[in-house]
Amino acid sequence: MRENLRVRLTIPSQEVQEGAFVVIESGEWLFYGLVTDLQLGSTDPRFADEQSETRLPAEMAALLHGQTLYTTLEVLPALMLERGPDLSSPDYATWQAEHGEGLHPMPVKTIPPHHAEVRLAEEGDIAEIFGKKEDKGNFVIGYTREQGHPVCLNLDKFVQRSAGVFGATGTGKSFLTRLMLAGLIHLNTASVLVFDMHNEYGFDDTASDTHVTVIGLKTKFGTRLRVVALGAGSLIRGLAPDLTLEIDEKDITPGDIEMLMRELNLRETTPTTLEALVSDFGQGWFKAFRQMRVGAVIETEDGKKFPAPDSVAAWANSAGVNVMAAEGLRSKMQRVYNLEYIREKPSGNGIDEIIKTLEAGQHVVLSFFDHEKDLDYLLVSNLLTRRIRERWEKLTNDFRSKATDEPHPLVIVVEEAHKLLNREMAGQTAFSTIAREMRKYYVTLLIIDQRPSQIYDEVMSQLGTRISGWLGDEDDIHSVLSGLAGRDALRGMLAHLQPTQEVLLLGWGVPMPLPVQSRRYDQNFWDELLGKNKGKISAEQAIEDLGF
């Protein structure tokens, strides 16, 4: 069943657009599909070529349109649902006894007959497939483009696999992510940890295009969410974070440096050198290496030069590693040694605090403050994620073997994900492990990116839910659709989305692909989510509380 269905249009073509959700009724079955194309057709090409409007009398021309000349839709059938005999039919009771309550849409395995009637989906049809607003875990993510019917995403399902939000710059990824995070936090579906590279998600922000205030998650969720800033003394837009994060140099492992291979332009000899450092100095390797000097020599009285005892060369010689390799590594690591938030004796244990917060079901936005370089982002996010991964694996194993509490699901949000999940890094970062297998351990990623083609394909094809705004680049479109059925039809749909605030919902997390208009992130959204009078006690309530 690879062929699309062809449907002849009996209503004005302006009322239907590419991507419209349609229902085909055929006896006891309902078919649900997407319009993938609109074309002009004619039973006889001569009439199509002639300007019948001007050459024929008006009534004749009108007859011709719709009869001989018409519009056809191409429909990609996606799901079918057995609705059984008519409610009033005597067979209904038997059918219902066999099928039970609740209808379950399934992928199409057959096609409706010729001349079956096709109609645009109504609100009820959409709720039937995408779920009702009121049901547990459901969150309205957007509205159908033709008639504005709400479309839900089930967040319980959403967090079971890693997911992605894609789209060219300015298509609304960050706004959509804010919406979804608000939903996840409000419904208590999962803890969220946001690696907030551009300080967008915690405190209120100003939209760069409209200059309107964009409400931050901290403003609405208060103590349930902690804003953590990287580096002591950081103020984010004049506001003090709940916690500052400094990293203990003992927490840096050789793996954290190897992961910076491309960023620091390291050589293949790096792992060998690092291994020797750890074998000589154990956990203190990072500090010991910091104290070694490159090129330090001592000169004897007769003018001979030897490596000074505190030089890299002296250590390399004693450890039996290549001197040039060790000196090269030490020079390149200077950028890491210059990072002021890596400390010998940091104030507090920020990493443990963050992990505790998340374990308790609360949320963390980690603001990179002014440490916005790729080096900061790669090093810190990977280090923290590695620690989280170890912790959640332990929690899960304890839960399975010792029947402790079930771990709270965690979603890690990464902007500019290709920096962490590109082909070269994929084997080395904690992120790719999570994308591939951590769903078993209750941790998944929400990756946000404008260049999905730069993300390793193996990670892309593992993504459960994909939400994509407009993409212009063929390679980007190709990777968003990787591993999905019906790619040809979906490709066109992605390329034809509005440049902003329209997204295509795709993948395992949604029952079928559907383009929607994104929900607006504004005051109205918060009123709908939290209730209008949240925080304010109504007059009646106040009187009641006083005991009247």
Ligand X SMILES: Nc1ncnc2c1ncn2[C@@H]1O[C@H](COP(=O)(O)OP(=O)(O)OP(=O)(O)O)[C@@H](O)[C@H]1O
Give the footprint of ligand X on this chain (CB under 6 A).
Answer: 167, 169-176, 207-210, 450, 500-501, 518, 520-521
Nearest to 188, CA basis, from 410, 440, 510: 410
Strands 5-8 and 69-82: antiparallel
Q: Least distance from C-beta 151 to ligand X, angstroms?
A: 14
Q: Least distance from C-beta 381 to ligand X, angstroms?
A: 17
Collapse the DSSP code of 447 into the 3-class scheme (helix H, G, I; strand E, B; otherwise coil) and give the result: strand
Q: Least distance from C-beta 24 to ligand X, angstroms?
A: 32
Q: Least distance from C-beta 416 to ligand X, angstroms?
A: 9
The site partner of 171 among ligand X, Mg ion, none (C-beta below 5 to 8 Å per kind) is ligand X
Q: Least distance from C-beta 166 to ligand X, angstroms?
A: 9
The site partner of 498 among ligand X, Mg ion, none (C-beta below 5 to 8 Å per kind) is none
Residue nearest to ligand X according to CB distances in the complex:
172
The site partner of 501 among Mg ion, ligand X, none (C-beta below 5 to 8 Å per kind) is ligand X
- CA 536 – CA 522 distance, rounded (Å): 19
Contact 86, 92 (CB under 8 A): yes
CA distances from 202 to 110, 383, 399, 445, 513 (A): 49, 21, 32, 19, 31
Which residue type, as a one-letter code, is found at position 68?
A: T
Q: Least distance from C-beta 466 to ligand X, angstroms?
A: 15
Q: Least distance from C-beta 212 to Mg ion, angstroms?
A: 16
Is residue 468 a contact residue for Mg ion (CB under 5 A)?
A: no
Q: Which is nearer to ligand X, 246 or 502 (CB)?
A: 502
Q: How many helices and strands, by DSSP H and E, does the chain display?
A: 23, 24
* Phi then psi dihedrals of residue 375, to 5 deg: -60, -45
Contact 464, 163 (CB under 8 A): yes
Q: Which residues contact 397 (CB under 8 A, 6 or more apart)?
A: none
Is residue 433 a contact residue for Mg ion (CB under 5 A)?
A: no
Site string for Mg ion, 150-179 (x = CB under 5 A): -----------------------xx-----
Longest dimension (CA), the chain: 115
Contact 34, 42 (CB under 8 A): no
Q: Which is nearer to Mg ion, 168 or 430 (CB)?
A: 168
The site partner of 218 among Mg ion, ligand X, none (C-beta below 5 to 8 Å per kind) is none
Q: Which residues contact 62 (CB under 8 A, 6 or more apart)?
A: none
Site size toward Mg ion, by CB under 5 A: 2
Q: Least distance from C-beta 490 to ligand X, angstroms?
A: 20
Among residue numbers 495 through 514, which ones bind Mg ion (CB under 5 A)?
A: none
> How many Cβ atoms sit within 10 Å of the Cβ of residue 61?
15
Q: Which is nearer to ligand X, 381 or 501 (CB)?
A: 501
Q: Which is nearer to ligand X, 54 or 169 (CB)?
A: 169
Q: Least distance from C-beta 173 to Mg ion, angstroms?
A: 5
- CA 231 – CA 341 distance, rounded (Å): 5
Q: Which is nearer to ligand X, 444 or 468 (CB)?
A: 468
- CA 149 – CA 141 distance, rounded (Å): 11
CA distances from 190 to 229, 412, 431, 525 (A): 22, 10, 18, 20
Q: Which is nearer to Mg ion, 18 or 416 (CB)?
A: 416
Q: Which is nearer to Mg ion, 362 or 500 (CB)?
A: 500
Is residue 428 a contact residue for Mg ion (CB under 5 A)?
A: no
The site partner of 175 among Mg ion, ligand X, none (C-beta below 5 to 8 Å per kind) is ligand X
**Footprint of Mg ion (CB under 5 A):** 173-174
